Chains A and B, each alone.
Chain A
Amino acid sequence: MGLIARQIEALGIATLCLSSAYSITRAVRPPRASFVDFPLGHTSGRPHALDEQVAMMTEALKGFEDITQSGDIKTLPYEWLADHSWKDAVMQPAARGDASAGSDFRLPRFDTPQYQFEADAEVADEGCPTCVFLTGSTDTPI
C-alpha cells in the first residue's frame, strides 16, 4: 500500500495510509501514516462500532495536517484490549499452545475468482467494466 501512496504523492496529491503493521509501514515509508494497534483485518475499526470508527477516522485524517515530515507515522490513541496479550498468538501457533498446527494460516493461492457467496459467481459479469485486469510486460517472477 505504501508503494502506491508514494507514487500518488509524487504526482502531487497528498496521501495518508492507515496501518496496523508498524514495522512494514516503517520499512516502506509512505509519506503519511496513521497507525492503529489492532489485529489485522480491523485497520479502520471494529465491526458495527460506527461511533468508534468515526472517532478513529477523525484522528487518522488529522494526520494530513499534523504530519509535516515525510515518512512520519502518527500512532492513534486506541487499544484493541487493555491487555495486549492477544499479540502473543498472532502468527505464533506455539504461543497458542498449538505447536502441532501448521504455522501458515493463510488460504491456498487459488488462481480462480474466490467468491464470498456461490451466488455471486452466477451474477458476476466477466466483461464487467469496473473490473480492471492488468497484464505486465515484465512478467518474470521476482
Chain B
Amino acid sequence: MVKQPPIDYIERTQKQYEALGYPSYQWVYNDTAVPLAPLKKPLSEAKLSLIASGGLYTRGQVAFHYKDDLSYREINVFGPAADLRASHFAYDLAPVRKDPNVVFPVEPLKQLVASGFLGALAERAYTFMGGIYSARKVKDILAPALAARLLSDQPDVVLLVPA
C-alpha cells in the first residue's frame, strides 16, 4: 500500500488561489512558542471544556453565515444530540450531519468521563465557524471574547477541535 506524508494544505491552498487568480493567502506563522501552562490535575480529575470550529449550532439558535462570521454559540453538551446542526462553507458536511461527533466529540468525551479516564466535561461548549479570512480579527476579537467567557466555566483543560 502506498503511504504518503500528511497533505500540505498551505501549499495546496496557495496553488488553488494561484489557479483562481486570487492574491496569495497570508498564513499565520508564529515564530515563538507560548510557554506551557502546567496541568494542575491528572486528567482523571480534570474538567474539560470543548471548543469546536465546525460551524455547529443547535435548533433554536441562529445559524452561522459564511462570510467572516466572528460570532460564537454556546451549546449545552447534555442537550439533545438530535438538535445539533452544522453549517460551514469549506468542508464536506455530509459526515458531520450524519454524526456530529466527527468534529464535535461530545459522545466520546462522555464515555471517557464514564470510564474514569477524564474527570468531567464542562456543560457549556463553544462553537464557531472557522475559515475566518482575517487572522487579526480572530486574534483581536474572537479569541479574547471566547477566552474571557471560558474562564467563567473554570475548566482545568481545554480541547479545541477544528474541522
Q: Which residues of A contact B (CB under 8 A)?
A: 1-24, 27-32, 35, 37, 39-48, 50, 53-54, 56-58, 60-61, 64-65, 67-71, 82-85, 87, 90-92, 102-104, 106-117, 120-121, 123-126, 128, 130-136, 138, 141-142
Contact = CB atoms under 8 A, between A and B. Distances in A.
A20 to B, nearest CB: 8
Given A10-B34, A31-B36, A57-B112, A92 B12 contact: yes
A91 B156 CA distance: 38
Interface of B: 1-4, 6-13, 15-16, 19-20, 26-30, 32-40, 42-43, 46, 48, 51, 53-54, 57, 59-68, 70-75, 85-87, 89-93, 95-99, 101-105, 107-109, 111-112, 117-118, 130, 133-147, 149-151, 155-163
A9 B155 contact: no
Most buried by B among A19, A50, A116: A116
Given A41-B92, A92-B12, A114-B64, A47 B99 contact: yes
A85 B39 contact: no
B112 A115 contact: no
A60 B28 CA distance: 24
A15 B27 contact: no
Nearest to A41: B91
Nearest to B141: A136
B36 A9 contact: yes
Given A115-B87, A136-B137, A130 B102 contact: no
B120 to A, nearest CB: 13
A4 B51 contact: yes
A141 B16 CA distance: 22
Nearest to B4: A84
Contacts of B141: 134-136, 138
A70 B101 contact: no
A126 to B, nearest CB: 6
A83 B107 contact: no
A8 to B, nearest CB: 5
A124 B87 CA distance: 14
B20 A41 contact: no
Given A70-B34, A71-B33, A132-B73, A109 B6 contact: no
Contacts of A104: 16, 20
B2 A1 contact: no
A114 B55 CA distance: 10
Given A4-B160, A47-B102, A114-B89, 18 more contacts: A6-B30, A7-B143, A10-B37, A24-B10, A27-B27, A43-B102, A44-B102, A46-B95, A47-B96, A47-B98, A64-B39, A68-B36, A87-B7, A112-B65, A117-B85, A132-B149, A134-B71, A134-B72
B145 to A, nearest CB: 5
